[in-house]
Every structure is written in C-alpha cells, then in structure tokens.
Chain A
Amino acid sequence: MLICEDISFDIDGQKLFSNINLNIKPQKDLLITGPSGVGKTTLLSILCGIQKPTTGKITYNSIDLYNLPENKIDEFRGINLGVVFQNFNLINTFTVKQNLEIAVGAIDTKKSIPFFNILDRVGLANKSHIKVANLSIGEKQRLAVARAFVGDPKWVFCDEPTSSLDDKNADIIANLIKDESLRCKASLVLITHDNRIQSLIKFSKILKLGD
C-alpha cells in the first residue's frame, strides 16, 4: 500500500502544493489531474523518490521512502516502481532492446526477461535493434511504457503518457498501460491534464491538483 501524508513542496520559499494525503491500495488506480504548473510532475517525482518533499512522509508497504539512505531509495525505485516520464527519459544512443536491458541491469534480477514478448506487446518487436533516436514519438512512448513494466513493478507512475499523441496513439498507449498494469498486478498512478485519458482508463480514485 502507498500512503502519502501531508506532502508539501516549496520552490524558493513559495508553496507549490501542500497537505497532499493519498492512500492507494494494491492494484488500485489513481488519476492526478490539474492544469499546467500546479506541480503534477513534481508530485510524481516525490512519489518516485526522485525529489524529496519539503514536508510529509511517503510509505510503501510501511517502508518510509525518504527515511532510506539515498542509495537504497534508488534501488527501491528500480525494483518496485516503474516510471513513464513525460519526456520519456530514454537513452537515445541505445537501441530499443538495450534500453530495456539497461533497465533490467539496474535491478540485478536473476529472472530471465522475455524481451521479445515485451516488445511484441508494445508493437516494437521488429524494431529491437533500432536506435531510440530514430523512433517516432508514438514508438518512443510505447518503449517508455515497455521499460516501465519490464521488471514487473508493484507501482507504476505515468506522467502525461498521452498528451503529445494523436487519438489513435493515445488509445494504444492507454490500453497498453491498462493491460500491463493488470498483467503485473500493479497499482497505477497516472498524471495528466489530457481529458481523453478518463474515457480510456477507469480510475478508482481521482485527485485534482490546483482546486
């Protein structure tokens, strides 16, 4: 279970947001919406252990995330969390397959990873040896989703996964995220200001930032 208590974040002494309390049960989904600039991406960074909040506490199954040593936070993120970043954060000089391999390399798993199956599910099986720099936006987004789910995470965070896509690609990505979450039995936290997403995925909870 993911519990956030009294999360607040200040930038240069100005409150970006405060008193955010969340409680996400296993395999439940949360949608965080709100206009641009309210701190959605910052909140996602905080939930993922990338950005320490100004105040508050985040616990994953009773593990206080920011009470862990920094190295352990990175390891915890690699093993338990999958993140789809707004700008993908893929390594452009690597091939499609290498981007998945490096993600698996980070978690030191002894499981054999069926890369072909994963790429097949996201429709990139025939592009495994192509460099990321040569992929289209939609393909990069699909690869980012594949990478987030490659280690079978327990919690998945997606930041604006459909905002830059046309309706067709947005539909593909939303379905991919939904299917992969179900396959991994992961809780999904999705951040977006894209209204189309609610018609594509049914969320158990919705948090509106900036209200």
Chain B
Amino acid sequence: MIVGITIITVSILVNQVTKETFSKNNPGLDAVVGAKGSPLQLILSSIHHIDIPTGNISYQNARKIIKHPAIKSAIPISLGDNFQNFRIVGTNKTFLKLYKANLISGTTWSQPMQAVIGYNVSKITKLKINKFFVGSHGLIDTGDVHAEQPYKVVGVLKKTGTILDNLILTSLDSVWNLHSVTNKDKLEITSLLLKYKNKTSSFSFPRLINKGTNMQAASPSFEISKLLKLTGNAHRIVDYLSVLIIILSFLGILFTLLNNINERKYDLAVLRTLGFSRWKLFSIILSEGMIISILGSTIGLIFGYIIYESMYYFSIVGRSLELGQLNFLNDLFLIWIIVNIIAFITCLVPCLKVYKQNIRSTLLNS
C-alpha cells in the first residue's frame, strides 16, 4: 500500500508540476528562432533553460527577423555562462516585461556588466545589490571563470513562480564584451523569442525561416506537447504499475484480515459470549482494516511528497523547474479517498464473516 501510493504520488506530482511549469514558463511566445538542430532542444534551452542551445545565430540576421511585418515582438537572448549553475542570460529589458517581472530592490541594468538576479538566485547564492560575482564558462559550473570581468548586481526580482526566478539577466552587450566580440558584423545571439502579430503566421513564418535561412523556427506549444506526450506514456506505465501494487495491497489487507479472523475466531466467539455484539465486532474488524489502509495511504502520500521534494531540491533540472501552485493536491486527495473507499469495501468481506459467525458452533469446534 505504502509503495503503491508513494509511486503514484511521485508520478502525479512530477507529471502535474512538469505540465504546469512548462505552461507557466511560456508567457505566450509563438516561436523561437535559433540555430538549426533539434527544435525541442531549442525550445528547452531558450524558454525553459534545461538543455544546451543548438548553437548561435547572427545578430544581423536576427535583426531582419525583428523587422519582419509578421512579428509583433522579438526578444534576443544570448546564453553561454552561468554563476553557481544559474544561467546568465544576455537580453534586453523587454524580457522583464514579457514575464511581468517586478524588482524587490534596485533597478535594471543601465550599462554592461550590471545584472538583475531572479528571486531564487538571490536566495540560494546570497547575492545582494552592489555585490559582485564572476560568471563561469558554459551552462554548468565548471570553475572556469571570467575572473577579470565581474558582474555587479543592480537589481533583485520578486518571485514570479517561473523560470525567471532562476535566471541572471544582463544586457547583450555584457555577454558580447565578456567574450571579446567587438566586430558588429560578427555579433551573435543564441535565439530570438517571438510573438506574432497574427496567429495565422504560425504556419507561414516557420516555413519561411526553415526553408529560406540557415536558422530554424520552432513552436514552443507544439514541441512541448510532443514532449509531454512522450513522457505521458512513461507516466502511464508507472501509473499502471502503481495501481497494480495498490490492488495487491488491497488483496494483502483482505487476506491478512481473513487470516486474522480465522486464527481469532475462537477469541471473537468468546467476546460475543462476554457481551460484544455482532456490530461491535464488525466495527472492530473494520477499524483494524481501515487503520492499515488510512495509515498506509497517508504514509505513502507523505513519502511520495518527500521523494518528489528531494528530487526537486537536489536536481539541477528541478532547480530550473519552479514548483507550481498546489492545485494538484486535489488529485492526491481524490486518490487517497478512492483508495480508502476501496479498502473499506474490501474490509466488508471479513467483517461480514465475523458478523455471520455462529458462536456456539465455533466454541464447540474449538
């Protein structure tokens, strides 16, 4: 029972939070344009910051896209460095508006090498306004740092519950300066986050980019739904497995109670002679079964939640996926109720056996 409920709890939490997080991290973006490669990788790296980018694109080419009549807004981002595994994102201030971000303290950057840090970054790294830090090469902390050019924290963002909480934002110039790119023709960015003026562009625009340029345009909603479909199948297998374990635990409760009753039928008959009514014994046996079920399902839920929280806390992936609102608790509560209702029905079998017991023949046969 505990194992089954634990597995199903973890599965539900991971499934729900993943869906919710993916949806919260995308504030209505229609497309991402980046270097050719896996479109899913481009989406995961540019919006959800859980994969490496497919490469860089020319900023000159990107500017052409920004000016395209089908585009309502375009935000360039440039990745490449991190601080204590938190990604440093070079971008413009529209990125903050995209996530409706507000500052707890400080201001946004006004010159290169100034940074605005997300809520979780500030909490975990203890960085504060006017503190300096140096970025490391790459997207995972390798110790290879840009020691000569530290960033200065100028602002800390309020919690948004999105990926923004785990990012360090700075200007594009900061990233270019840090990597000594001075030739304006050779400036590069990682990707461009786009919103269309008209949704009908979602068919024509990607085709234009994918066939006419050395870049690719990927749709976040399409790629993420593909990903969730794939992971959903894995979740379903885990769910079926946990349901099977729960069914086995019901049978366990049933046979344990039946076995107990068989072993204690003489004692139960003695209790009847002492004045315990059929209903009293019925309720005692029912209570025994329900205590096992309620304890098992509750401990399973708690274990599941602890395992999920540990996964969330200890994994880098988890760190960049922000815990969503707790509306999935309703699902867990529903499962808890259903499991205990089925356990109640299961317990009725041995209870009825006790209820129908003939005390005289039981005592005589004993």
Contacts and interface: CB of A to CB of B under 8 A. Distances in A.
Interface of A: 45, 48, 50-51, 70-72, 74-75, 77-79, 83, 85, 87, 89-91, 93, 102-103, 106-107, 147
A79 B273 contact: no
Contacts, number: 50
A83 to B, nearest CB: 6
Most buried by B among A48, A78, A107, A147: A78
Contact of A93 (B267, B280, B359): B267
Contact of A77 (B269, B273, B279): B273
Given A71-B279, A75-B277, A106-B276, A45 B271 contact: no
A110 to B, nearest CB: 15
Contacts of B272: 74
B275 A79 contact: yes
Contacts of B273: 48, 50, 77, 83, 85, 89
B276 A89 contact: no
23 contacts: A45-B360, A48-B273, A70-B278, A71-B279, A74-B278, A77-B273, A77-B274, A77-B275, A78-B275, A78-B276, A79-B275, A89-B269, A89-B273, A90-B270, A91-B270, A93-B267, A102-B274, A103-B274, A106-B271, A106-B274, A106-B276, A107-B275, A147-B274
Most buried by B among A74, A85, A91: A74
Interface residues of B, number: 16
A50 B271 CA distance: 12
Contacts of B274: 77-78, 102-103, 106, 147
Contacts of A147: 274
Contacts of A91: 267, 270
Nearest to A72: B277
Contacts of A70: 277-278
Contacts of A106: 271, 274-276, 280
A157 B272 CA distance: 16
Interface string B262-305: 00000101111111111110000000000000000000000000
Contact of B277 (A45, A71, A83, A93): A71
A72 B277 CA distance: 7
Would you call the interface of chain A mostly helix, strand, loop, or mixed?
helix
A103 B274 CA distance: 6
A70 B170 CA distance: 81
Nearest to B272: A74
Contact of B363 (A71, A74, A89): A89
Interface of B: 267, 269-280, 359-360, 363
A133 to B, nearest CB: 12
A85 B277 CA distance: 19
> 6 closest Cβ contacts across the A-B interface?
A78-B275, A106-B275, A71-B277, A74-B277, A106-B274, A89-B270
B164 to A, nearest CB: 62
Nearest to A74: B277
A89 B359 CA distance: 11
Contacts of A79: 275
A71 B270 contact: no
Nearest to A78: B275
Contacts of A48: 273
A74 B278 CA distance: 8
Contacts of A102: 271, 274
B225 to A, nearest CB: 60
A51 B360 contact: yes
A207 to B, nearest CB: 21
A54 to B, nearest CB: 14
A47 to B, nearest CB: 13
B275 A74 contact: yes
A104 B269 CA distance: 16
A103 B269 CA distance: 13
A134 B280 CA distance: 29
Nearest to B267: A91
A85 B280 CA distance: 22
Contacts of A89: 269-270, 273, 363
A75 B275 contact: yes
A184 to B, nearest CB: 16
Contacts of A78: 274-276
B271 A85 contact: no
A107 B280 CA distance: 11
A175 B272 CA distance: 28
B360 A50 contact: yes
Contacts of A74: 272, 275-278, 280
A110 B164 CA distance: 65
A70 B280 CA distance: 12
Contacts of B278: 70-71, 74
A67 B363 CA distance: 23
A51 B362 CA distance: 12
A49 to B, nearest CB: 9
